[in-house]
Amino acid sequence: MGRSPWPVLQLSHLDTQGQAHMVSMAERPSTNRQAMAEGWIRMDPQVLKRITAADAPKGDVLAVARIAAIQAAKRTWELIPLCHPLPIHGVEVWISPTARHSGLRIQASVNTHARTGVEMEALTAVQVGLLTIYDMAKALDPAMEIGGVRLLSKQGGRRGDWRHPRGDQEAVDSHPGQQGEPLPPSPS
């Protein structure tokens, strides 16, 4: 493993006594910020066919998961104790079948003009979207697996732009030791 280009910093959510606190953003300038995250859910191939055909018992799983992901991004500050409430300016969610394994990939992009980033909002959108798929299809396949949730990129802020070191070349649905299919290009 290579050394991270980002320096190891003191945890900003801990005060000098080691107690958790909410970091003040009062002195930071507002800038345009964007973050993109992804994750996957694997399932029985027959369940995937039913979901993609909008033939699941609970209805259109993909439409509900997309709305759930958007709603989760907007409410992240209510779920993660030390996150700041942010003015979310846009959320885009893409759900697509994975090419190599029977499952679905969710990617979420969140943007704002604020004093702190939207990484947690993008990650929360992906997680809640995946959990919504599980919830709506669990009667068909309770053995579904969720994984591979990661931040793909962030733009803006004090530390500038960042992209995941493995980028779009490693699929979120590959097993250890297997080569997964490349991800589609990140939406701009």
**Percent of the chain having pLDDT more than 70?**
75
| Alpha-carbon span 114 to 157, nearest angstrom | 9
* pLDDT tens figures, 164-175: 998 764 444 443
Catalytic residues: 135
Confidence of residue 12 (pLDDT cuts 50, 70, 90): low
Domains for the chain: give ranges and CATH numbers: 31-169 (3.30.70.640)
Please name the residues in contact with 98: beta carbons below 8 A apart, sequence gap of 6 or more. 40, 42, 104, 105, 171, 172, 173, 181
Average pLDDT on 139-164 reads 93
11 has pLDDT over 90: no
177 has pLDDT over 80: no
Answer whether 92's CB lies under 8 Å from 152's CB: no
Look at phi and psi of residue 167 and say left if phi exceeds 0, alpha if psi is from -120 to 50, else beta.
left
Q: Taking all residues of the chain, what is their mean pLDDT, rounded to a whole number?
A: 83
* pLDDT tens figures, 71-109: 999 999 999 988 889 999 999 999 999 978 899 999 999
187 has pLDDT over 60: no
